[in-house]
Structure 1
């Protein structure tokens, strides 16, 4: 990675390809585009994603093993809220399932069954969607959550 730009201006923005050189595991993460949308909102004219040093620190902090579970859960909520409506709904859950299964041919009925089970367990308000509070409450009780939502540097 060429560090000349950073040495001249620590507030500069670099193309995300530079970060992927340092953290190649990002390329294979099924939620990499959502991580970039949440942590690196800047886009160039050609749609290229840019990040600052502070952006990178935010992402690495949120995905750090030392990050408190509730903070980590709030970031995860934003990543999983694909339609950015501040809820995780059936549409979001379908996208999460597709990415986690790498679109292995789950039938519509199988996905619906999984979604109904998730909503039954997590949607405490029975609204048909999961609020950030419900999400944080549920995932912080899952023993594997913190280790799964992690980036090893």
Structure 2
């Protein structure tokens, strides 16, 4: 006989998670159920990336591996690629309807920053375009043209890369961004 999710998540823990996410207690319990369905048995377990990639909401997302990596950053390189329940909850919270535009933009920037240097340079933009269009969607030359056009339009300081502030400026002109950057739970 297994324990129900509400028995594994005591009231104090639920309160703490509610304070640091965009979820209600009921939604947190639902997210924990999803986590358990993927293979997590307790709050102390972590899931391998391939288990998280089985999440229906991520299966068709072209950034699914980048999303997993961004939400599984650990300081002790051993667990890289594994996601704890708290990381999973953070991921689901950021992609929830309740998350703010600023939070979504911050994580989108990290997802698109393939080399992790804190900027979106031409290579990051080309990788982003490749994820969106697929390897056969656009030629390298076409991806390069699109990346150059993005930099021409959005690189306000002329350093041939986008800072987070420049990225945020682009996002502020895209009213549908918040609606496209979400997962329904």
Q: TM-score range by the shorter chain?
A: 0.7 to 0.9
Contact 1:78 1:84 in 2 (8 A): yes
TM-score normalised according to structure 1 size: 0.84
The Cα RMSD (Å) is: 2.4
Long gaps (5+) in structure 2 = 1-36
Name the CA distance, whole Å, in 2 between partners of 1:71 and 1:13: 24
Q: Which moved more, 1:30-39 or 1:97-106?
A: 97-106
Q: Which moved more, 1:140-149 or 1:70-79?
A: 140-149
Residue 52 of structure 1: aligned partner: 84
Q: Do residues 124 (structure 1) and 156 (structure 2) align?
A: yes
Which aligned pairs between 1:1-153 and structure 2 lie closer than 5 A? 1=37, 5-6=41-42, 10-21=43-54, 23-41=55-73, 49-153=81-185
Contact 1:13 1:52 in 2 (8 A): yes
Structure 2 residue matching 1:11: 3-state secondary structure: coil
Long gaps (5+) in structure 1 = none
Greater gyration radius: 2
How many residue pairs end up in the alignment?
148
TM-score normalised according to structure 2 size: 0.70
Deviations 1:42-80 (A, max 9, x none): 5996x8832111101111111112111011101100000
